Structure 1
Amino acid sequence: MHVILDDTLDRWIRETAPGGDLTCWTLGLDEQPGTTTFKAREEMMVCGSEEVARVFEKCGAKARVHIPSGQMAQTNETLVTAEGPVGALHIAWKVSINILEYASGIASRTRRFLIAAQQGAAKVRIAATCKTFPGTRELSAKAVWAGGGMLHRLGLSETVLVFDHHTAFFPSFDDLIRLVPDWKSRACERKFIVEAASLDEAEALACAGVDGIQFDKLSPDQLAINVQRLRDLRPELLLIAAGGVTEHNAAELAATGVDVLATSAIYFGKPADISASIQPLRS
């Protein structure tokens, strides 16, 4: 499972309490011993519990992970516990509840999305786009993996993905087709994927040697026709459906025979419902 690096956790702690917890300091509670418990209020796919434990350690408390990322939690199950000075617990709690709720929400949506899609095709993959809110990419990526998904691409540096706002700069589609072999040689260790505007374009791209074709916002019926024609032409070609892909149409789109459903929908929705309590440490 992906590990979020210390500099990210340090940044999250710093933005939450740049000068410590003023309330605990004012009330004289900073050094009082206490305990913190995070529990699931609903069934969920857990993500972020390892990062939460590290946040508590960084703030001066001791923590224990009860359910790791990538495992299901049932209602009322304990996810993470910690004990230490109350000032440390309050700072870590504020950071940690956001990590757990947002990450587990994405992981749970990813899992539901995958289950829905696999009703249409057992081997289809769910790929999350890189359309995350700025500053949240690492945690969002871990949540997608925890839920059983994959990343369409983590950023612009890892895959050649050609859209119409790239092809608009070439005199014609034929000029673009002629250049595909040269472009592939310039990025020979990377997949070369192009979004096609029509079946004719897709067939020409397949013959030119691209590694994959992406289709945007096609109906399931039209997508199925395109998939069948391209499978006959090049069975190994990677085929991706994108644009408007949701949990509700995932099965129908998957049944067309595409390899991947690319979506940003799993990032947006209700956070997981998690309770957090801070209590005095009883001897």
Structure 2
Amino acid sequence: MVSFSPLPSIIIEPIVRNALLEDLGKAGDITSDAIIPLDHKATLALKAREVGIVAGLDLAAFAFMLVDPSIDMHIWRPDGCDVAAGETIARLCGPARSLLAAERTALNFLCRMSGIATATAAMVEAVRGHKARIACTRKTTPGLRALEKYAVRVGGGANHRFGLDDAVLIKDNHIAIAGDIGTAIERARAAAGHMVKIEVEVDTLEQLETALALSIDAVLLDNMSLEDLARAVAMVGGRVITEASGRVTPRTAPAIAATGVDLISVGWLTHSAPILDIGLDASIDGNCRHKHLN
């Protein structure tokens, strides 16, 4: 069973607040204000329109609450739950104008994060039976990294570093500028604190051999063939963490995992996973029949 903790409110509230300000502009929802009476109440349902995994309900709830604290939201399928097409995820009750004013912002977060969780779960399933864990990268939407990495955790994946200050990751450009891989590693080790891990990216088995002779904690095996990945894992022999990256899809992941690597990093999980289609549907009569849904 996937285990994850919700994001603290102090992280998500300013993100949701800024998104609402972007959408509401300087005059609010002029369409709803013109069409719907001020005192009209409505009941609406968040419904999945395709199979997937829910993530981002806290963001959706914050959107509705920030627009109008009187809105009640009753969650039936919380984050991490599988949903079928047509299944109700949550039901909302409150002033109709307020519900519609928050609708798009709430759905933007919910659809985006549920899409990431769903794509991650598919990758996790693809490597089931192997020790490899699926990890995301820093290829995230600017300003939304915490949310997108949370969605990866909801889908059963692992997070790589959150920023440049989390850990040392020596990549090809660092090596090129330093002159060689040994110099880059030695400089990083001399500067890193005792709590900082060092990972180095290698493209060849020769680079790997050099890196293993120095003090590192993990190695990123970048765009290697399956044969070289298997050789690399054998060379490492469990001394450091092995991470594979490059051209990873649900179709290619099982063979990559079978080489024995510890991690498989997948950038597209956060930069281009498709959304999960979720809609907000009004009840037939449009009336709010539930005073307290929480």
Normalised by the length of structure 1, the TM-score is: 0.91
Equivalent position amino acid for 2:214 in 1: A
CA distance in 2, matches of 1:99, 1:175: 44
For 2:292, the equivalent position in structure 1 comes to none
In structure 2, C-alpha distance between the alignment counterparts of 1:130 and 1:177, rounded to whole Å: 21
- Give the letter aligned to residue 162 of structure 2: L
The structure 1 residue matched to 2:148, chosen from 137, 140, 144, is 140
Instruction: Tell me the SS of whatever aligns to 1:169.
Output: helix
Report the Cα distance in structure 1 between the residues aligned to 2:173 and 2:255, rounded to whole angstroms.
29
Is contact 1:49-1:67 (8 Å) kept? no
Q: Which amino acid aligns with 1:277?
A: D
Q: For residues 14 and 217 of structure 1, do their structure 2 counterparts lie closer, same or farther at Cα, with a shift above 3 Å needed?
A: same
Instruction: Please tell me the residue identity of whatever aligns with 1:168.
Output: A
Residue number in structure 1 paired with 2:116: 106
Change (3 A) 1:75 1:174: closer
RMSD: 1.7
Letter in 2 for 1:31: D
Unaligned runs of 5+ in 2: 290-294
Aligned length in residues? 276
Q: Does residue 2 in structure 1 map to residue 2 in structure 2?
A: no
Unpaired runs of 5+ in structure 1? Answer: none
- Taking a change above 3 Å as real, the CA distance of residues 180 and 99 of structure 1, as seen in their structure-2 partners, is closer
What secondary structure, in the 3-state scheme, does the structure 2 residue paired with 1:195 have? Answer: strand
Contact 1:180–1:209 (CA under 8 A) maintained in structure 2 = no
Q: Which residues in structure 2 correspond to 1:118-157 (within 5 Å)?
A: 118-119=128-129, 121=130, 123-157=131-165
CA contact (8 A) 2:36 2:96 kept: no
Q: Which residue of 2 aligns with 1:215?
A: 221
The counterpart of 1:16, out of the listed 19, 23, 31, is 23
Aligned AA (1:41): R
Q: Which amino acid aligns with 1:165?
A: N
Shift of 1:27: 1.8
Q: Aligned letter for 1:113?
A: M
Match of 2:250 among 232, 243, 247: 247
Cα deviations by residue, 1:195-240 (Å, 9 ceiling, x for unpaired): 0132122122122120011011111111111111111xxx231000
More displaced 10-residue stretch of structure 1: 101-110 or 132-141: 132-141
- Secondary structure of residue in 2 paired with 1:208: coil
- The code of the aligned residue for 1:157 comes to D
Which one of 210, 228, 233 corresponds to residue 204 of structure 1? 210
Deviation at 1:180, TM superposition (A): 5.2
Identity of aligned residues (%): 29
Alignment of 1:70 onto 2:77: no
Residues 39 and 80 in structure 1, CA contact (< 8 A), matched pair in contact too: yes
Between the aligned partners of 1:274 and 1:176, the Cα distance in structure 2 is: 47
Query: 1:83 maps to which residue?
Result: 93
Matching residue of 2:171: 163
CA contact (8 A) 1:241 1:260 kept: yes
For the residue of structure 1 that corresponds to 2:184, the secondary structure is helix
> Which AA in structure 2 matches 1:63?
M
| Deviation beyond 4 Å, 4+ runs, structure 1 | none
Deviations 1:96-147 (A, max 9, x none): 111121111110000000110225x1x2111101101223212211210110
> Alpha carbons of 1:261 and 1:230: their partners in 2 closer, same or farther (altered >3 Å)?
same
Structure 2 vs 1, CA of residues 130 and 5 (structure 1 numbering), >3 Å: closer, same or farther?
A: same
Letter in 1 for 2:267: S
Aligned counterpart for 1:237 among listed residues 229, 237, 240: 240
Say whether residues 1:32 and 2:40 are aligned partners: yes
State the AA in 1 paired with 2:216: V
Cα distance change on mapping 1:156 and 1:173 into 2, 3 Å: closer
1:182 CA displacement: 1.6
1:282 Cα deviation after fit: 5.0
Asked whether the equivalents of residues 127 and 151 of structure 1 are also in contact (C-alpha less than 8 Å), the reply is: yes
Whether 1:277 aligns to 2:285 is no
**Paired residue type of 2:21:** R
TM superposition shift of 1:167: 1.4
How many angstroms does 1:12 deviate by? Answer: 1.3
- The 1:82/1:215 distance shift into structure 2, 3 A limit, reads same
Distance 1:177 1:103 in 2: 36
Farther-moved stretch of structure 1 (130-139 vs 209-218): 130-139
Residue type at the aligned position of 1:255: A
